[in-house]
Amino acid sequence: MNFNLNRLAILVAALSLMACKANQAPLDDYITHLERQAHKDVAALTPLVEVNLRDYQAHQLREPFALPQAVITSTRSQSKKDCWQPNQMKTGGELERYPLAKLRLKGVMSRNKSMSALVQTPAGKVVKVSTGQPIGVNRGKVTRVTAEYVQIIEPLPDGLGCWNQRNVKLALK
């Protein structure tokens, strides 16, 4: 009986191998057939647009990045003559190189009822500030230091030659 089972197993294996007919065609023929099916015609590209180049002559045309004279004249006529202007002197302090939005309040210190703050620059440097010190690129001034925030008054240009002031707080986070 064991002999019949072995014969039966061999017969089943032989029949299954004979039933399996893999694609016997050479691989190169198959790849060529696939490439013929995938071949698409490429549409012609549109021709390039011709650009007329000319040399810039400074004595004939205005500078390319300067406002036209008509815009400069109209802006001057709209500006107010008697408006507030900030002090133009710069002291060159460490914190005057950065906009207020880039500065971070990192801590507050107190000594003999005098408050000072530690402000971090975008470069990671921590600078001590106190009331009256200049801060920010618009020549702002520290007006108050408390345990929670630093109050700054910052002048802002209105675009017509005058300046307005706004209060800004750098708060601890």
Fold adopted by 100-171:
SH3 type barrels. (2.30.30)
pLDDT of residue 167 exceeding 70, the answer is yes
Q: How much is the pLDDT for 76?
A: 52
pLDDT of residue 58 exceeding 70, the answer is no
Q: Per mean pLDDT, which of 21-25, 44-48, 145-149 is the most reliable?
A: 145-149
How high does pLDDT run on average in the chain? 79
101-154: per-residue pLDDT in tens? 889 999 999 888 889 999 999 999 999 999 989 998 888 899 999 989 999 998
Q: How much is the pLDDT for 60?
A: 66
Q: How much is the pLDDT for 139?
A: 84
User: How many CB atoms lie under 10 A from the CB of residue 49?
Assistant: 5
**107-113 long-range contacts, CB within 8 A, separation 24+:** 107/172, 108/145, 108/146, 108/147, 108/148, 108/172, 110/147
Which DSSP state fits 124?
A: S
First to last CA, the chain: 88
pLDDT of residue 164 exceeding 80, the answer is yes
Confidence of residue 36 (pLDDT cuts 50, 70, 90): confident
Domain boundaries, the chain: 100-171
Q: Is the pTM of this model over 0.85?
A: no
- Comparison of pLDDT for 43 and 106, the residue scoring more: 106
pLDDT of residue 80 exceeding 70, the answer is no
Least confident interval from 12-16, 85-89, 92-96 = 85-89
Q: Give the 3-state secondary structure of residue 158.
A: coil
